[in-house]
């Protein structure tokens, strides 16, 4: 049986793209992933993630989708009928339809896994057994592998943006002081790298008195 795991990285930051990744393995390849030390990317050092990323993409079929700040802003606009969850579902469906698999395991961004799974099924055009769970990146090695591919893709994207702009703006998350400083100083001059419909950005753009930006991080998704 060919199993596809899908996960994302960069859902919550104010800077940069969201990355979604899918990795396909045969059932027996789970032993290989275990021997390599594959686990949820959040439990690995940056160096180990990079090493595993190269091993995974060299051995297994994979697909990476970059979702830009502009695309994220579009689904968060007042006239949009979509939202960030359904945007993820749209791209998950693209990955599922593009990959040769019998089963797809999804790390669900919503606590309502049944409702999310029902919607995802309407977006997928091929016949596949869908498993939609919270913390799937912790419970399934193939999803952990996808989490590594997504995380390293985002990390490289952030480094490239920093080099392009000539600023070390940190992780892009609002809990990062470097990110807060960069947002305050460059929200207008480098607007294209920001998710402009995130609450802290909107507050700066509208001139609204701003609280500590870290307090807003939980309100952006």
Domains of the chain by range and CATH?
2-161 (3.30.420.10), 165-219 (no CATH)
Query: Mean pLDDT for the chain?
Result: 92
Give the mean pLDDT of 195-220. 67
Q: How confident is the model at residue 217 (pLDDT cuts 50, 70, 90)?
A: very low
Task: Dump pLDDT digits (tens) for 51-67.
Answer: 999 999 999 999 999 99
Give me the pLDDT at residue 208, please: 58
Give me the pLDDT at residue 66, please: 98
Of 47-61, 71-85, 126-140, the range with the lowest mean pLDDT is 71-85
Of 26-30, 80-84, 98-102, 143-147, the range with the lowest mean pLDDT is 80-84
Of residues 221 and 91, more confidently modeled: 91
Which runs of consecutive H residues, i.e. helices, occur in the chain?
30-36, 46-59, 69-76, 84-98, 113-123, 136-139, 141-165, 177-186, 199-206
Question: Which CA distances in Å does 110 have to 114, 116, 145?
Answer: 9, 7, 20
């Amino acid at each position: 049986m060919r199993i596809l795991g899908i996960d994302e990285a960069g859902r919550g930051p104010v800077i940069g793209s969201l990355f979604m990744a899918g990795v396909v393995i045969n059932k027996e390849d789970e032993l290989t992933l275990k021997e390599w030390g594959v686990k949820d990317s959040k439990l690995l050092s940056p160096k180990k993630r990079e090493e595993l990323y190269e091993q995974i993409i060299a051995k297994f079929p994979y697909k990476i989708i970059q979702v830009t700040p502009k695309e994220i802003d579009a689904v968060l606009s007042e006239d949009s009928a979509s939202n960030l969850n359904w945007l993820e579902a749209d791209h998950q469906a693209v990955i599922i339809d593009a990959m040769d698999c019998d089963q797809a395991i999804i790390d669900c961004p919503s606590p309502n896994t049944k409702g999310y799974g029902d919607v995802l099924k309407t977006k997928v055009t091929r016949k596949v057994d869908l498993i939609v769970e919270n913390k799937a990146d912790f419970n399934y090695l193939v999803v952990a592998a996808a989490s590594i591919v997504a995380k390293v893709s985002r990390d490289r994207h952030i480094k490239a943006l920093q080099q392009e702009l000539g600023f070390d703006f940190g992780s892009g998350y609002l809990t990062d002081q470097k990110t807060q400083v960069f947002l305050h100083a460059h929200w207008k001059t480098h607007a294209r790298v920001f998710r402009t419909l995130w609450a802290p950005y909107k507050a700066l753009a509208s001139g609204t008195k701003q609280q500590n930006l870290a307090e807003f991080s939980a309100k952006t998704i």
